[in-house]
Amino acid sequence: MSDLSKLPVTVITGFLGSGKTTLITELMKNPGGRRLAVVVNEFGDVGVDGEILKGCAIPDCPAENIMELSNGCICCTVADDFIPTIEALMALEPRPDHILIETSGLALPKPLLKAFDWPDIRSRITVDGVIALADAEAVAAGRFAPDVARVDAQRAADDSLDHETPLSEVFEDQISCADIVLLTKPDLAGLDGVARAREIIAAEAPRPIPVIEVAEGVVDARVILGLEAAAEDDMAARPSHHDTPHDHDHDEFDSIAVEIPELSEPATLVRAIEGLARDHNILRVKGYAAVAGKPMRLLVQAVGARVRHQFDRPWGAGEARQGRLVVIAEHDDIRRDVIEAALGVARQPAE
């Protein structure tokens, strides 16, 4: 049993677009009697996930209990950002019963666990558990490299070579660190896809880990909260590709923010994003857009060529109807001119 005087924290990790924000939104609605607080660690400078969650704020998780850490992974900014944020949440009245931390899709969870060893918080907080979300369809398809066909061809030519990419290492580290894996979007994968995803996860897991299928983020809070794993004291059981001291970075990935003009219709943007994923290895797109004649803002979330969009709220009085997207990919695939051209953004001539 963990020390019940410590405030429990659940780390929610997972690959890009695996459904972390959807899960947290559902937990906010059905917290199992807990007063929640949320920390969102974004990758890129548009706080999409934080805004979505604040829009879902309820008395058991009001807007002031939702905090964002942008432009830097938590484990790289412990003293400057993470510790003050945790202390601010612990000082709230009434104090939260449980904190949820949504990592960025590119985060390695084990270095984050090491942050809980800091003297300022170790005696007052414990990692209740690490929940890893895995997109069933993407896992089943083995999409851990931008060009799966090319990687498969290399493996077929010489199976003695290690052709892992940074994406595969992120996935493996997240599974290795988890106490529970939530297999999301099982309907898109189908029965065979789900079975294949389970096989892959079992092969990567360093120990038996429960795998639960979850659709639209709906899971009983009793299943994933209150695990009392004290993960900060269980580091040896959570192996990582990056176990040397602070041997990790995000140089393999990059992001840019792109302002986009008002759309004639959402389908125009969907086609552009699909083309970026197909032709230029873009991994993730998220943000907002304005649609001509529509009073509401269009929320856009894309994982590869799979694009979801919905009108989330009216544009505010005096708010500029300006679309803005964060585009994430491996470093060499971020080419602003190509991305802006695909999104219909006219580049300004150099002065």
| Model confidence pLDDT, tens digit, residues 235-254 | 877 877 666 554 444 456 67
What is the chain's mean pLDDT, rounded? 77
Binning pLDDT at 50, 70 and 90, where does residue 349 land? very low
- For residues 59-69, average pLDDT: 55
Inform me whether the pLDDT recorded for 143 exceeds 80: no
Identity of the residue numbered 284: R
Nearest CA among 175, 201, 163 for reference residue 108: 175
Alpha helices in 30-106 (DSSP H): 48-54, 83-90
Least confident of 113-122, 154-163, 270-279, 281-290: 154-163
Binning pLDDT at 50, 70 and 90, where does residue 278 land? confident
Q: CB atoms < 10 A from the CB of 80, how many?
A: 11
Q: What are the φ/ψ torsions at residue 118 (nearest 5 degrees)?
A: -65, 135
Structure tokens at 164: 């892992």
The percentage of the chain sitting over the pLDDT mark of 70, rounded to a whole number, equals 73
Residues whose CB is less than 8 angstroms from the CB of residue 151 and which lie 6 or more positions away in sequence, other chains included: 145, 163, 165
Cis peptide before 94 (omega within 30 of 0): yes
Binning pLDDT at 50, 70 and 90, where does residue 293 land? very high
Binning pLDDT at 50, 70 and 90, where does residue 1 land? very low
Nearest CA among 47, 115, 53, 105 for reference residue 82: 115
Most confident of 44-53, 77-86, 266-275: 266-275
